[in-house]
Amino acid sequence: MAPTPPHSAAENLVTIDDVTFAYDSRVILENISLKVTRGKVVAIMGASGCGKTTLLRLIGGQLKPASGNVQVGNLSVPTLNTAELFRLRRKMGMLFQMGALFTDMNVFDNVAFQMREHTDLPETAIRDLTLMKLHAVGLRGAWNLMPSELSGGMARRVALARAIALDPMLVMYDEPFAGLDPISLAIVGRLIRTLNDALGATSIIVTHDVQESLKIVDYVYLMSDGVVMAEGTVADIQRSDDPFVRQFVDARADGPVPFHYPAQEYQAMLMES
């Protein structure tokens, strides 16, 4: 499959250049390169354990690559000191898998938290902005509920409101569709697309939900075993005849991605004393 030609450096908000990362001797990412264009919604897809979430942690500076570079805007993330990294993170929003709301705060305080921590806005302004974010995700009327009183879909929408609380330039989503019913899944997907365009932000979605993601994204990277196996627009991916792409998009059990984790011969293991 011939991917769409890469955009110029000026158009790229995130550039991952020849990055390798490992936990001790276990290589998670190997010489991986990808670009995220400003204003676009980009999906990074692949089976569990292929290194998708590790990429988000590298972009956010939680991890540092063994080699290569991670650039956000014009900043090299691995070279930033603590103060510089925190300043960059204030321009990022993060929707964690399963929402990760503060369980002892109500909906309003969850969304207002970043404004109170990172701005000098008066409480009246914080109130108005918080209600605006909750209104954007359809939950202004749930402002006083506790996380334990929310459904899974509602909790994810509150987490989305919190992720965009400071109008970030980059929003990262770690498995935003996991565990949602079909209606909630469609709502969250539509919100991701709509809010990205309304805010003029850039979004990275880490997911293995192929069908829902292909409805809302502009560009796709397919990963396996720490490398990019295929990339392209939604149309590129849908019409690809690459065996890996077809196995993943069509959810085929048989293909280049094996079912079994690498191991010695089964009979040999049974015979071990």
DSSP string, 128-150: HHHHHHHHHTT-GGGTT--GGGS
Query: Which band of pLDDT confidence, cut at 50, 70 and 90, is reported for residue 1?
Result: very low
Angle at 89 between CA 78 and CA 194, to 5 degrees: 125
Q: What is the pLDDT of residue 178?
A: 78
Per-residue pLDDT reduced to its tens digit, 70-124: 999 889 999 999 999 999 998 998 888 766 888 899 999 999 998 998 888 999 9
Q: How many structural domains are present in the chain? A: 1
- DSSP of 63-83, one letter per residue? S--SEEEEEETTEEGGG--HH
Domain extent, residue 240, equals 9-98+168-259
Question: Cα separation of 220 and 218, whole Å?
Answer: 7
Given a contact cutoff of 8 angstroms between Cβ atoms, the answer to whether 55 and 43 are in contact is: no
Assess contact for 147 and 110: CB atoms under 8 A.
Answer: yes
Least confident of 10-14, 39-43, 134-138: 10-14
Q: CA torsion angle for 260, 262, 265, 266 (degrees, to 10)?
A: -40
The answer to whether position 1 is within a domain reads: no
pLDDT for res 2: 45
The CATH number covering residue 39 comes to 3.40.50.300
Using CA of residue 85, residue 44, residue 99, residue 24, what is the dihedral sign? negative
Between CA 47 and CA 91 the distance in angstroms is: 29
Q: Is residue 149 part of a domain?
A: no
In a domain, 110, yes or no: no
Tokens of 90: 């204030």
Q: Is the pLDDT of residue 4 over 60?
A: no
| pLDDT classification of 128: cutoffs 50, 70, 90 | very high
In a domain, 33, yes or no: yes
Q: What does the pLDDT look like over 22-37, one tens digit per residue?
A: 888 888 888 999 999 9
Res 255: pLDDT: 61
